[in-house]
Amino acid sequence: MKKIIKHLSWFIQAEWKQYTIMFILLVGISIIALAPAKVLGEAIDVIVSSRLTKDRLYFLAGLLLLIPVTRYGMSFVYNYMVTKEAQKLAYQLRQKYLKHLFNMDSKFYEMYEKGDLISRVTSDLDAITQAATSLLEGIIFNVGLILFAILVMGTTISWKLTLISITIMPIGITILNIVRSKKRKYIKIHREIYADMTEKVLESVEGQKTIRAYVQEENDLKRQNEAIHKDIESWRYIVKYENWFTPMFEVIYGIAYILAFSFGTFYIIQQEITLGGLITFVAYIGQLYGPITSISGIFTQINNAHISIDRFEEIMKQSPEVHDESDSLNIIEFNEIQFKNVTFKYPFDKHPVIKNIDINIKKGQTIGIVGPTGAGKSTLIRQLLREFNVSGGSILIDGKSIEAYKIEDIRNLVGYVPQSHILFRRSVDENILIGKPNATSQMLDKAVKLADFEKDLMFLHDGLHTMVGESGVSLSGGQKQRLSIARALIKDPEILILDDSLSAVDAKTEDNIINHLKEFRKGKTNIIVAHRFSAIHDADVILVLESGQITQRGTHHELIRQEGWYKTQFIEQMTMR
Ligand code: ADP
């Protein structure tokens, strides 16, 4: 419980007024919950002793009516407040979590799977929110009710009878706790299995087109079924222990009733208590059942919340290796980028993907990068996005390490068109404007023209306003590429990176785009990774990357005169035409 309070103290402190009101309301509700039995007992004693007058009857009936009405009013206000607080907390935690995810670097995303990250912001966050709201209710209301009931039973009826009847209860609670503590260890395992199941469902939904294309529905369903089965199995363990306790506890609780009745009747005969007293007493014993089982359940809830807090905190504690320092420098343009002996290894790999890379990129140059698939071309250019820190050597921008600059500034320098194109479930223009949300319509038109996307618009029923993405119109591979290029070009970035982004367009379109770049990006830098040599034919420098190393460099004319990969591939591409 301490852990929950510590973890949520920022929220409780900010909301202390609401929490105080809710606390008072809960105490009030638990006191009121005990009143009807007391009034009933009083009424019976009055009737039995023939002291019932008309006025007294009205008074008692009025009281019995007033009690539930007051309770209803208080519960209404409490429920309203608690729901509002729960929503507020869930919203704030979700905001914190998502903001944190945006700050994380690529290494973090290699460490955690999407399904796992989602389940932490759904089921774990729900458990935490529940802890902060319903736990308060559970503890204050139930503990309050138990204490008040014992106090009222002891002071107004009989301490002796109270002690006799409730001594059995700690035994019941102990049994409850033993069984439930066994259950706890399965909860954690279940959470992990649940996260795995979420991951599999996500994968199937994302990959449904491929699954159908390869007629793999049955295999996929089998995989899903296995995951679901595992989830059910793990839940069964939990339920098994849960089912254990209920009958056992009922038996023990029954003993409390027997004790109350038999000793109560004895004390009536002894004239130590009245009949009304015994009826009130037995009613209270009945009223204690709910709170006692709830309190035991609260331990489970607290434990669930602890597990969830740990899982939530684990993510919140991660700090990105790639991060800004307080003295990080601003940069809006550059003159020269140098790769000095750069080596890079992915965080969980043993071997470097690119090795001893030396490159000089001058502002305004166009650099072409070619090489076999898997040579490390994407890895090389992505170093300019600062997703990871390099493993060896350094990247200098105007003589200073890339790490000395603000990450956002570095990313703002770059317009990156990745190999796989991400379309958001928005209209075409909104998808392009992601590159520069405050762009004017002229800028938008220009980007569309430069990316040679204009001709596609007439095939889209709503032109630029056509919805694309999962639920909208599907674009062809080439259209997606052109939209992505427009998204990067609208930024008019200092450095444009095309990562094999012309692979799905025809030769004519490729020509158009390359010519537009030559014409409109004078003085700006372009880095083009390509498979077709026509795309990099006029580059100032072409780098050939093989097995992570630069094996050739020069202009097209220089390279076709050298023996090596470039010449061989060039001849092959020429003969294939
Ligand atoms: P290219 O662009 O030349 O086809 P890549 O840079 O995409 O090559 O990949 C180079 C190598 O790095 C490949 O062996 C690939 O499997 C590996 N690789 C790419 N991305 C990752 C990653 N995120 N984690 C681990 N290895 C990766």
The residue whose CA is least distant from atom 14 of ligand 1 is 374
3-state secondary structure labels for all residues of 332-376: CCCCEEEEEEEEECCCCCCCCCEEEEEEEEECCCEEEEECCCCCC
The two three-digit tokens of residue 566, written as one number: 């470039």
Containing 510, the helix (H) or strand (E) segment is helix 507-520
Domain definitions of the chain by residue range:
2-316, 336-576
SS3 552: strand
The gap between the terminal CA atoms of the chain, to the nearest Å, is 72
Q: Which residue has the higher pLDDT, 208 or 1?
A: 208
pLDDT score, position 114: 86
Six-digit token string for 244: 């254990």
CA of 378 to the centre of ligand 1 (A): 7
- pLDDT at position 22 is 92
Percentage of the chain exceeding pLDDT 70: 98
Give me the half-sphere count of Cα atoms (radius 13 Å) on the Cβ side of residue 324.
13
Q: Which residue has the tokens 């590159």?
A: 435
CA distance 52 to 364: 103
Q: How far is CA 543 from CA 284, 498, 549, in A?
A: 85, 15, 10
User: Which tokens is 461 given?
Assistant: 């029923």
Residue 472 has a pLDDT of 60
Distance 17 CA to ligand 1 centre (A): 54
Compute the Cα dihedral for 228, 230, 234, 239 and give only its sign.
positive
Residue 165, both tokens: 């009847």
Cα(248)–Cα(532) distance, rounded to whole angstroms? Answer: 76
Buried b (16+ CB within 10 A) or exposed e, 321-337: ebeeeeebeebeebeeb
Residue 39's alpha-carbon distances to 70, 71, 283, 290, 437, in angstroms, are 15, 15, 11, 21, 68
Work out the number of other CB atoms within 10 angstroms of the CB of residue 434.
Answer: 15
Give CA–CA dist 129/7, Å, rounded. 11
Show the tokens assigned to 411: 């990313």
H/E segment holding residue 495 = strand 495-499
pLDDT tens sequence across 481-495: 899 999 999 999 999
- Dump pLDDT digits (tens) for 44-61: 988 888 888 888 889 888
pLDDT digits (tens, 9 = 90+) for 338-365: 999 999 999 888 899 999 999 999 999 9
Atom of ligand 1 nearest to the CA of 106: 23
Does the pTM surpass 0.85? The reply is: no
pLDDT at 369 over 70: yes
3-state secondary structure of 110: helix
Instruction: Tell me which residue has tokens 């609208």.
Output: 490
* Residue 123 pLDDT grade (very low, low, confident, very high; cuts 50, 70, 90): confident
Contact 548, 355 (CB under 8 A): yes
pLDDT at 117 (0 to 100) = 92
Pocket of ligand 1 (CB under 6 A): 346, 349, 353, 371, 373-379
Q: Is 319 helix (H, G, I), strand (E, B) or coil?
A: coil
For residue 390, give the nearest of 329, 333, 321, 337 by alpha carbon. 321
Mean per-residue pLDDT over the chain, rounded: 88
pLDDT tens for residues 283-308?
A: 999 888 888 888 877 777 787 888 88
Residue 25, pLDDT score = 93
Cα gap 184→4, rounded to integer Å: 17
Task: Among 378, 391, 565, say which to mutate for ligand 1: greatest number of ligand atoms within 8 Å of CB.
Answer: 378
Tokens of 8: 């949520």
Please report the pLDDT score of residue 470 as a whole number. 63
**One-letter amino acid identity for 370?**
V
Q: Among 107, 110, 349, 353, say which to mutate for ligand 1: greatest number of ligand atoms within 8 Å of CB.
A: 353
Residue nearest to atom 20 of ligand 1 (CA): 379
Query: Which residue's CA is the closest to the ligand 1 atom numbered 13?
Result: 374
> Tell me: the pLDDT tens digits for 436-456?
999 999 999 999 999 999 888
How many CB atoms are closer than 10 A to CB 421? 19
Q: Directed axis angle between helix 169-206 and helix 217-269, to 10°?
A: 160
Of the candidates 187, 196, 255, the one whose C-alpha atom is nearest the C-alpha of residue 230 is 196
Which of the four pLDDT bands, split at 50, 70 and 90, describes residue 384?
very high
Does 550 have pLDDT greater than 70? yes
How far is 164 from 141, CA to CA, in rounded Å? 24
State the sign of the Cα–Cα–Cα–Cα dihedral 53, 59, 63, 69.
positive
> What is the fold, at CATH topology level, of the domain defined by 2-316?
ABC transporter transmembrane region fold (1.20.1560)
Distance 376 CA to ligand 1 centre (A): 6
pLDDT in tens, 394-404: 999 999 999 99
What phi, psi does 419 have (nearest 5°)?
-70, -45
Is 192 a residue whose pLDDT tops 90? no
pLDDT, residue 471, reads 57
Correct CATH for 336-576 of 3.10.20.740, 3.40.50.10420, 3.40.50.11540, 3.40.50.300: 3.40.50.300
The C-alpha atoms of residue 513 and residue 496 are separated, in whole angstroms, by 13
Supply the pLDDT for residue 358.
95
452's tokens: 């040679």
Judge whether residue 245 has pLDDT over 70: no
538 neighbors 510 (Cβ within 8 angstroms): no
